[in-house]
Structure 1
Amino acid sequence: MSANQDADGQLPLVNLITERYGELTGPKRKVADFIVRDPESVIFMSSADVAQAVGCSQPTVSRFASEMGFSGFTEFLTTLRDQVKQRLEPINRMARITSGSTDAAKAFYESLRADQAILQGLSDRVQLKMVERAVELILRAGRVGVAGVRNSQTAAYGMNFLLNQLTGKSALISDSHKDLEELSRLGSEDLLVTISFSRYSKRIMEMTRVAKESGVPVLGITDSPTSPLSRFADVLLCVDCRGPMFQNSMVGALSIVNGLMTALVAAMSEEQREHSQRHMKKSDQISDKLENYLWTFESHK
Structure 2
Amino acid sequence: MENPIEKLQHKIGELTETQRRVADYIIKHPLDVAFLTVDQLAGVVKTSTTTIMRLTFNLGYSGYSEFQKGLQENLRNQAAPQTRFEANIKGIEEDDLWGRYAEKQINNIQNTIEMISHETLEQTQKMILSANRIICTGVRSGLPVAQYLTHGLNRLFGNTNLVVADVSDWVDSVVNMDENDLVIAISFPRYARRIIDLSRTVKNNGVKIISITDSYSAPITTYSDLVLPCNASSIAFHNSVVSSIFIADYIISALAINYPDQTKKRLDKVNAILTDINYHSLD
TM-score, normalising length: structure 2: 0.69
Q: Of the candidates 168, 182, 190, which is equivalent to residue 173 of structure 2?
A: 182
Which residue matches 1:132?
A: 122
Deviation, 1:160, is 0.6
Query: CA separation in 1, counterparts of 2:23 and 2:256?
Result: 42
Query: CA separation in 2, counterparts of 1:213 and 1:168?
Result: 25
Query: CA separation in 2, counterparts of 1:184 and 1:237?
Result: 25
Query: CA separation in 2, counterparts of 1:46 and 1:148?
Result: 29
Which residue matches 2:266?
A: 276
Query: CA separation in 2, counterparts of 1:278 and 1:216?
Result: 31
CA deviation map 1:133-167 (0-9, x unaligned)? 11011111111100110001121111011111111
Aligned length: 227
Q: Which amino acid aligns with 2:220?
A: L
Query: CA separation in 2, counterparts of 1:161 and 1:182?
Result: 17
Which residue matches 1:60?
A: none
Give the direction of change, closer, same or farther, for the CA distance of 1:50–1:235 in structure 2 (3 Å limit).
same
Which residue matches 2:228?
A: 237
Q: Give SS of 1:193's match.
A: strand
2:153 aligned with 1:143: no
Which residue matches 2:11?
A: none
- RMSD across aligned C-alpha pairs, in angstroms? 3.2
Q: Of the candidates 217, 239, 250, which is equivalent to residue 259 of structure 1?
A: 250
Q: Give SS of 1:121's match.
A: helix
Deviation, 1:287, is 5.7
Q: Percent identity?
A: 20
| Contact 1:139–1:268 (CA under 8 A) maintained in structure 2 | no
Q: Give SS of 1:173's match.
A: strand
Q: Give SS of 1:164's match.
A: helix
Query: CA separation in 2, counterparts of 1:212 and 1:121?
Result: 29
| Contact 1:34–1:54 (CA under 8 A) maintained in structure 2 | no
CA deviation map 1:198-226 (0-9, x unaligned)? 32222111111111111101111111122
Which residue matches 2:210?
A: 219
Q: Which amino acid aligns with 1:48?
A: K
2:112 aligned with 1:114: no
Give the direction of change, closer, same or farther, for the CA distance of 1:189–1:279 in structure 2 (3 Å limit).
farther
Deviation, 1:102, is 7.0
Which residue matches 2:190?
A: 199
Deviation, 1:239, is 1.0
Structure 2: 5+ residue runs without aligned partners?
Answer: 1-21, 34-40, 55-64, 66-81
Deviation, 1:131, is 0.8
Which residue matches 2:15?
A: none
2:46 aligned with 1:55: no
Q: Give SS of 1:194's match.
A: strand
Structure 1: 5+ residue runs without aligned partners?
Answer: 1-31, 57-63, 65-86
Higher radius of gyration, 1 or 2? 1
Show the 5 A alignment for 1:36-115: 37-39=27-29, 46-49=44-47, 51=49, 54-55=52-53, 92-97=83-88, 100-101=90-91, 103-115=93-105
Q: Which amino acid aligns with 2:227?
A: L
Q: Which amino acid aligns with 1:54?
A: I
Which residue matches 2:69?
A: none
Query: CA separation in 2, counterparts of 1:278 and 1:147?
Result: 27
Deviation, 1:179, is 3.6
| Contact 1:196–1:204 (CA under 8 A) maintained in structure 2 | yes
Query: CA separation in 2, counterparts of 1:178 and 1:155?
Result: 20
CA deviation map 1:59-89 (0-9, x unaligned)? xxxxx9xxxxxxxxxxxxxxxxxxxxxx8xx
CA deviation map 1:107-131 (0-9, x unaligned)? 3322221101011223211111111
Q: Give SS of 1:221's match.
A: strand
Query: CA separation in 2, counterparts of 1:158 and 1:51?
Result: 42
Q: Which amino acid aligns with 2:134?
A: V
Query: CA separation in 1, counterparts of 2:24 and 2:48?
Result: 8
Deviation, 1:227, is 1.9
